[in-house]
Amino acid sequence: MRRWMALSIMGLTVTTTALAQDSHLRRLSNGVDAKAWEAVGRLNIGNSGFCTGTLIAPNMVLTAAHCLYDKESGVRIEHDQVEFLAGWRDGRASAYRTVRRAVVHPNYEYASHVNTGGEGNDLALLELDHPIRDGKIHPFSTEARPQRGSKVAVVSYGAGRSEAPSLQELCSVLALQQGMLVTSCSVDFGSSGAPIFVVQEGELQIVSVVSAKAEVDGKAVSLGTSLGVPLAELQAEMVAQQDTLDNRVILGAPNETGAKFVKP
């Protein structure tokens, strides 16, 4: 994850008191600690490193769009270079999956993200080659938008802690601005795409994914892309792309191989 400076939020006031109430990152070292978080996994991405992703359906992982771009060249990374390791901890995962298809938000622009630090629409969906239907791994639901001051939690992998997820159970939403959540959650390189949770009626729900870290008045904050409308638009884009693929298949005659494919 790049060290973006969030120029658009430099006027935000972050009080020492608000940050002092945050809990520290806690390594989920064993099965008991990690049990509720098995749907969060590490994304190994080509030769460029890793990000964090989360199951939101048995065959669907939510992450940050910028994870799918080479940070040096800006070129989009092919989906077959991405692997999802659900619940990765100390050399083992609860499930291993390759990616069948990757779709980024239709309005996301990597070049703009790099040049301005803008985190709008920094969302991607990864369709897995096979659904994960393990009774121990439960996809998380999503919620549109928390309120300023809401208590949130984040589960992520990161630099120096890539071999097990870490949980910060208590951090805060400091501001909601231009499609972003500004939070006091601790993040680092590798945390991109990590889920930010609220508790709604006793259920953990994802309200954002980590897009960048920044500083405001000398204090570290994290930036996350809001869900709600952007996620709905991304899901619609995935459906539209699937429809396009389906329309390129023409059924052949019964005595032929079964299908003919129209060249793009």
Band (256; pLDDT cuts 50, 70, 90): very low
Residue ranges per structural domain of the chain: 7-242
- pLDDT of 82 reads 97
Cβ-contact 105, 124 below 8 angstroms: yes
Band (258; pLDDT cuts 50, 70, 90): very low
The CATH T-level fold of domain 7-242 is Thrombin, subunit H (2.40.10)
Q: How far apart are CA 108 and CA 235, in angstroms?
A: 14
174 pLDDT more than 50: yes
Q: Is 28 helix (H, G, I), strand (E, B) or coil?
A: coil
Q: Which residues pair with 183 in a beta bridge?
A: 173, 222
35 pLDDT more than 90: yes
Give the chain's count of helices (H) and strands (E). 4, 16
Band (143; pLDDT cuts 50, 70, 90): confident
DSSP letter for 170, please.
E
Band (158; pLDDT cuts 50, 70, 90): very high
94 pLDDT more than 70: yes
Instruction: State mean pLDDT over 180-201.
Output: 91
257 pLDDT more than 90: no
Give which of 54, 40, 6 is closest to 222, Cα–Cα.
6
Residue 82 vs residue 10, higher pLDDT = 82
Mean pLDDT (the chain) is 83
Give which of 93, 82, 91 is closest to 37, Cα–Cα.
93
Asked whether the whole model's pTM tops 0.95, one would answer: no
Residue showing tokens 């920094």:
122
Return the structure tokens found at 257: 């191989």
Q: Could you report the per-residue pLDDT of 213-238, keeping only the tens digit for each?
A: 888 888 889 999 989 899 999 999 99
H/E element, 220: strand 219-226
- pLDDT of 31 reads 87
